[in-house]
């Protein structure tokens, strides 16, 4: 359930905290007091839009936080699949912060999450029914979604099977489209593949050959400059009159004479002789290198031609020899398939027919379950509607089979309703009024909430278009619903407000020349005063007080019964 809500620097709200209770929480207040801001803030924290224009003070952050208590094992398990774990005391914090620069930070407990992940998590904890949501009932495409949600895990498993079968089916359809070429087109493609295969095979490529050739080619192209450097180095390190070898030889000769006079320098003399040996070895290496640098014009032209051939193949088939060889394998595979084209297409056709039959069967099973499930759902909705003063209502779901398959099966479905005796059944979106839609939505929410165990349900002005006895029936329905779920409801009707287990008043006041919205939990006496205001308006008489006191008493008695 939702324990607390914290709002800071949003529209008319500077900073408020709301501690919600179990069962039925009612929020009332004058028009413009800030009820829509609270519901809007709740929607923001559940992943709705958070525009910068909402900031009361555009130099400070705006913040909305919700603290939930999570104890249902199924919800804890679902949260863990989303890599979310409630704290040790079972609480979970969802927050959204908007900075003046427009940057929004979404957090669950101490972890920053994407808006998509936040919505997934929030949907497990709370179901917000805003007034505009009733419009979903006017879209037949949404009706099947409502039914599938009611079906829970069983329907989801069947839908998953349909999705898997449909995916394979579509792949085979695409394969058939690609294979629908005439004989001339097929022969043309085979000739081209044969040319490509021959071109690559004739090259007799060896993996890594290009790297070695490029290294040799670079050496050959720069042979003159290389020999010049090598000759210079050989001369400087050799044994000419002024070379390093000659100078080092003289130094060694003098060093030997020196050690005869002083043995202390014997080690140093050894180092000098080692240096002479290393220099001599180096000089021989350079000499051998220059002998190997003999330039062969014929070999150079052959190497250049081979590199041109390899680079030409790279431009056509891949940027490396390994990629070219991969292309060769793909060409050979396609050529083999086209060589056995008729057999291949017969095999694809057979697979397609088999998969079509499999998809048809999985769609049929899903459709049968949906049709059986729709009778259960519509029966529950009818019962809920009768509880809310729909007398002799008829409500059902009608199915049609689409000529085309989809990942959602082949069902097209729509809710039908008749609200008066003798009236023909008609599509829901054609006949329902605003007040009827409110009650139908409440009936559906009741059925769905019981099915998926959503802990908290929020209703924004579910009372639109109803009054009198109907309002009383809606109030009783919400009270019954709140025995299994925490319910938070904004209302203008005294009948619904009287059913409150916790009644909050939203007020708007002027402080320091600023308009500020606030909210507070009413005492029993204050509840009576607020109910009187809802009934009598500005002028509250003793008769009004007596009426609402009796109304509140009857509401408490109805809860017991």
Q: Kindly state whether residues 225 and 112 are assigned to the same domain.
A: no
In angstroms, the CA 519 to CA 20 distance is: 12
Residues 6+ apart with CB under 8 A from 192: none
Q: Kindly state whether residues 213 and 307 are assigned to the same domain.
A: yes
Name 508's bridge partners.
517
Per-residue confidence (pLDDT) for residue 435, from 0 to 100: 67
Q: Could you give the dihedral angle defined by the CA atoms of residues 150, 154, 156 and 162, in that order, rounded to the nearest 10 degrees?
A: -130
Q: Kindly state whether residues 203 and 322 are assigned to the same domain.
A: yes
Within 10 angstroms of residue 487's Cβ, the number of other Cβ atoms is 26
Q: What percent of the chain has pLDDT over 90?
A: 39
pLDDT at position 444 over 90: no
In angstroms, the CA 467 to CA 495 distance is: 9
Per-residue confidence (pLDDT) for residue 191, from 0 to 100: 92
pLDDT in tens, 489-499: 998 889 999 99
155 alpha carbon, distance to own chain's centre: 22
HEC profile of 106-135 = EEECCEECCHHHHHHHHHHHEEEECHHHHH
Per-residue confidence (pLDDT) for residue 241, from 0 to 100: 67
Q: Kindly state whether residues 212 and 324 are assigned to the same domain.
A: yes
Q: Kindly state whether residues 31 and 115 are assigned to the same domain.
A: yes
Query: Which strands, in side-by-side order, build the sheet including 2-10?
Result: 13-19, 2-10, 62-69, 91-98, 104-108, 111-112
In angstroms, the CA 253 to CA 250 distance is: 5
Domain hosting residue 476, numbered range: 1-129+453-522
Name 521's bridge partners.
504
pLDDT in tens, 380-407: 999 888 888 888 889 999 999 999 999 9
Examine residue 557 and state whether it is found in any structural domain, yes or no: no
Per-residue confidence (pLDDT) for residue 294, from 0 to 100: 64
User: What's the total number of domains in the chain?
Assistant: 2
**Side-chain half-sphere exposure of 133, counting CA atoms within 13 A:** 18
pLDDT in tens, 66-75: 999 998 888 8
Within 10 angstroms of residue 4's Cβ, the number of other Cβ atoms is 15
pLDDT in tens, 3-46: 999 999 999 999 999 999 999 999 998 888 888 889 889 999 98
Pairing of strands 409-418, 104-108: unpaired
SS3 138: helix
Per-residue confidence (pLDDT) for residue 106, from 0 to 100: 94
Per-residue confidence (pLDDT) for residue 354, from 0 to 100: 96
Examine residue 398 and state whether it is found in any structural domain, yes or no: no
In angstroms, the CA 417 to CA 534 distance is: 33
Among candidate residues 292, 318, 338, the one where a domain is terminated: 338
**The model's pTM:** 0.65
Structure tokens at 145: 């979604």
Q: Kindly state whether residues 199 and 333 are assigned to the same domain.
A: yes
Q: Which of 196-200, 222-226, 336-340, 522-526 has the lowest mean pLDDT?
A: 222-226
């Amino acid at each position: 359930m939702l324990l607390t809500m914290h709002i800071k620097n949003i529209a008319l709200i500077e900073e408020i905290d709301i501690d919600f209770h179990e069962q039925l929480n009612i929020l009332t207040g004058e028009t413009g007091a800030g009820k829509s801001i609270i519901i809007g803030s709740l929607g923001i924290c559940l992943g709705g839009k958070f525009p910068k224009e909402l900031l009361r003070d555009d130099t400070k952050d705006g913040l909305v936080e919700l603290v939930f208590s999570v104890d249902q094992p199924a919800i804890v398990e679902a949260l863990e699949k989303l890599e979310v774990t409630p704290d040790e005391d079972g609480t979970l914090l969802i927050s959204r912060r908007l900075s003046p620069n427009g940057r929004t930070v979404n957090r669950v407990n101490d972890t920053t999450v994407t808006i998509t992940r936040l919505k997934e998590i929030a949907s497990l904890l709370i179901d917000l029914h805003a007034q505009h949501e009733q419009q979903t009932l006017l879209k037949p495409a949404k009706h099947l979604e409502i039914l599938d949600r009611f079906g829970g895990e069983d329907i989801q498993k069947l839908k998953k099977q349909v999705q898997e079968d449909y995916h394979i089916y579509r792949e085979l359809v695409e394969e058939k489209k690609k294979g629908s070429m005439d004989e001339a087109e097929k022969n043309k493609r085979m000739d081209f593949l044969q040319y490509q295969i021959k071109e690559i095979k004739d090259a007799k490529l060896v993996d890594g050959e290009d790297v070695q050739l490029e290294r040799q080619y670079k050496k050959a192209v720069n042979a003159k400059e290389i020999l010049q450097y090598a000759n210079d180095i050989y001369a400087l390190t050799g044994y000419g009159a002024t070379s390093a070898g000659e100078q080092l030889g003289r130094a060694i000769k003098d060093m030997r004479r020196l050690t005869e006079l002083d043995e202390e320098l014997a080690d140093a003399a050894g180092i000098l002789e080692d240096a002479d040996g290393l220099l001599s070895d180096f000089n021989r290496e350079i000499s051998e290198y220059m002998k190997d640098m003999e330039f062969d014009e014929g070999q150079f032209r052959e190497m250049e031609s081979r590199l041109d051939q390899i680079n030409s193949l790279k431009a056509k088939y891949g940027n490396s020899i390994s990629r070219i060889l991969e292309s060769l394998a793909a060409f050979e595979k396609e050529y083999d398939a086209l060589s056995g084209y008729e057999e291949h297409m017969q095999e694809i056709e057979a697979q397609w027919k088999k998969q079509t039959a499999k998809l048809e069967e999985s769609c049929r099973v899903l459709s049968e379950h949906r049709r059986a499930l729709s009778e259960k759902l519509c029966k529950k909705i009818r019962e809920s509607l009768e509880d809310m003063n729909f007398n002799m209502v008829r409500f059902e779901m009608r199915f049609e089979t689409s000529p085309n398959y989809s990942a959602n099966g082949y069902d097209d479905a729509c809710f039908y309703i008749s609200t008066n005796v003798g009236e023909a059944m008609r599509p829901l979106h054609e006949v329902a009024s605003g007040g009827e839609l409110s009650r139908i939505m409440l009936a559906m929410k009741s059925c769905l909430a019981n099915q998926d165990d959503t802990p908290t349900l929020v209703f924004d002005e579910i009372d639109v278009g109803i009054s009198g006895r109907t309002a009383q029936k809606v109030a009783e329905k919400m009270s019954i619903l709140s025995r299994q779920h925490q319910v938070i409801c904004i209302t203008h009707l005294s009948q619904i407000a009287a059913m409150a287990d916790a009644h909050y008043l939203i007020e708007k006041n002027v402080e320091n020349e600023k308009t500020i919205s606030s909210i507070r939990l009413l005492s029993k006496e204050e509840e009576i005063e607020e109910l009187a205001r809802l009934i009598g308006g500005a002028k509250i008489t003793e008769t009004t007080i007596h009426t609402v006191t009796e109304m509140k008493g009857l509401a408490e008695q109805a809860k017991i019964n």
